[in-house]
Amino acid sequence: MQRWPGKVYSRLYRPIMYQLTKRYQSTAAKFDSSALPGTSPVDNVPITTKLEFLPSKAKSIILNIGLWTQMFSDNQLIKMYKDMTMLETMDNILFQSQRQERISFYMTHRGEEATQIGSAAALDSGDLVYAQYREAGILLYRGYKLHQFIDQSNEKCVVCYFGDGATSESDAHAAFNFAATLEVPIIFICRNNGYAISTPSKDQYHSDGIASRGTGYGMMAIRVDGHDLFAVYNANKAARQMAVNENKPILIEVMVDRFGPHSTSDDSSAYRSEEKMRHHAKTIDPIERVRRYMDVRGCWNNEKEKTWRKEATDMVLKELEQCEHIKRASITIMFDNVFEKVEPHLQKQMHELMQHVQQNHEASFLTLLSKYEQSCVPDK
C-alpha cells in the first residue's frame, strides 16, 4: 500500500473513520424484540459494534453481617439460645453414642446453629420446609411438629435448604429456573460451609459462590454471615416478605463453617487440619456470640448457663436411654405405604415373608427377630 503523506493521512483519517462507522451504525438493524413473534421480553437490549465478553466473575457479592434491624425480647432471645445450645448438646451426646454403637448414624451441626435457628425463627409456623440433612435445628425450633401441612392460603412461603455441593446437581438448576419463571414464593437457603464431604468449594464451582447464580435466573440474592444469628434472621425475614408479597423466589447464600466432620462416617482429618478448625471455631462460634450478647444485655449469666446446660444434657441422655429400649417396628410395616393401600401383590409377598419367618427357628435368626415388635398379619 502506498504510504500517504502524514498530514494528508491525519486530515483524512478522522472523516473517513467517521463515515465508515456512521454507515455501519445506520445499516445495522435495530433489534426490536417485539417485532419477532415468541421472543422473550428482554426489551431495550443495547447493541454494540464492539466484540466484548462479560467477565467470568463480576465484583464479589458483599457479605452481609450484623444486620440489627430487629430487637428481640428477652424471651425470644432465650428461646433461640436454648435451641442453639440444645442442638449443640444433642450433637455432642449423639455423636459419641454413635461411636459407642448405641445409634447407627449421626450428622452434627456444629458451626451452623445460627443459620438454622435464625432462619427458622424468621419463618411463619405454617411455611413448608424442605430440608436436606443438616437442619435438625429447624425441627427443634418448631418443637418437632412434623405434621404441619401447608396452609392453602396465599400468605405462606416454601423454604428449601441445601449445601454448596448440592448446587452442582441439575436439580438445583431446574429448581431455580422453575421458581423464577413460575414466580413461586420460595426462599432457597444455601448453607455454604466450604465442603461437600471432603471436596472443597474450589473444586465445586468457579463462580463467585452461589449468590452470583441468582442473576443468571432472574432471581434476587443475598450473601449472609451464617455465624451471626441476627444477620441470618433479618435476611430471612426480609426475604420472606418479598417472597410472599411479590410472589418471587429469593436466594440466600449463608456462609458458615462446618466445625465437625460431614457425619459419623467421615474423619475430616484426612483432608483438613483439625487443629486449624478448632482454633477457628473458638473465634467465631455462633453460640458464644449470642451468649456474650445476652450477658451484656443482662438476661443471662453463668448460673443460668450452668443450670440450663445440665438440664439439656439430662434431657438428651434420658431420651437416648428410653429410645434404646424401644423395639424396632414390626416387620410387616415394611410393606406399608409403598402405595396408599397394601396392594394384592404386596399382601402376597408379606404373607410369604411371615411364613418364612415363622418357620425359621435357628438361634441367630430368633435373636435378630427379638429386636422387632411382634408382627400381626391380617388374614388373607
Partner 1 sequence: MALSLRHLILTAPKCSSILTRRRVAHFTFFKDQPDPSLGPTKEMNLCQTIQNAIDITLGNDHTAIVFGEDVAFGGVFRCTTELRSKYGADRVFNTPLCEQGIIGFGIGAAVAGTTAIAEIQFADYIFPAYDQIVNEAAKYRYRSQNLFNCGKLTIRSPWGAVGHGALYHSQSPESQFMHTPGLKVVIPRSAIEAKGLLLSCIKDDNPCIFFEPKILYRSAKEDVPIKEYTIPLSKAQIIQEGSDVTLVSWGTQVHVLREVAQMAAKENISCELIDLRTIVPWDVDTICQSVSKTGRLLISHEAPITGGVGAEIAATVGKECFLNLEAPVERVCGYDIHPIPHVFEPFYFPSKWRCLEALKRMMNF
Binding residue for partner 1, selected from 41, 298, 344, 378, defined by CB under 8 A: 344
Binding residue for partner 1, selected from 7, 30, 325, 345, defined by CB under 8 A: 345
170 binds partner 1 (CB under 8 A): yes
Looking at residues 245 to 304 of the shown chain, list those that interact with partner 1 (rule: CB under 8 A).
Answer: none
In angstroms, the CA 161 to CA 189 distance is: 5
CB 96 within 8 A of CB 313: no
Binding residue for partner 1, selected from 12, 323, 338, 366, defined by CB under 8 A: 338
CB-nearer residue toward partner 1: 263 or 347 = 347
Looking at residues 77 to 136 of the shown chain, list those that interact with partner 1 (rule: CB under 8 A).
Answer: 128, 130
Q: Are strands 186-192 and 195-196 parallel, antiparallel or unpaired?
A: unpaired
182 binds partner 1 (CB under 8 A): yes
323 binds partner 1 (CB under 8 A): no
Question: What Å distances lie between residue 319 and 93, 141, 269, CA to CA?
Answer: 11, 18, 31
CB 380 within 8 A of CB 347: yes
175 binds partner 1 (CB under 8 A): yes
Binding residue for partner 1, selected from 97, 177, 263, 268, defined by CB under 8 A: 177
| Selection from 95, 114, 106, 110 nearest residue 133 by Cα | 106
CB of 320 to partner 1, least distance (A): 22
CB 186 within 8 A of CB 123: no
CB of 375 to partner 1, least distance (A): 16
Candidate segments 73-81, 166-174, 194-202, 221-229, binder of partner 1 by CB under 8 A? 166-174
Residue 28, amino acid: A
Q: Name the region of 183 (left: φ>0; alpha: ψ -120 to 50; beta: rest).
A: left
CB of 178 to partner 1, least distance (A): 5
322 binds partner 1 (CB under 8 A): no
CB-nearer residue toward partner 1: 181 or 307 = 181
144 binds partner 1 (CB under 8 A): no
337 binds partner 1 (CB under 8 A): yes
In angstroms, the CA 222 to CA 65 distance is: 11
CB-nearer residue toward partner 1: 63 or 342 = 342
CB of 142 to partner 1, least distance (A): 14
In angstroms, the CA 281 to CA 285 distance is: 5
- Which residues, 6 or more positions from 235, have their beta carbon under 8 angstroms from its beta carbon? 64, 67, 122, 222, 224, 252
150 binds partner 1 (CB under 8 A): yes
* b (16+ CB within 10 A) / e for 121-139: bbbeeebbbebeebbbbbb
CB-nearer residue toward partner 1: 40 or 44 = 40
- Which residues, 6 or more positions from 272, have their beta carbon under 8 angstroms from its beta carbon? 195
Where does this chain bind partner 1 (CB under 8 A)? 128, 130, 146-147, 149-150, 152, 158, 170-171, 173-175, 177-178, 181-182, 333, 336-340, 343-345
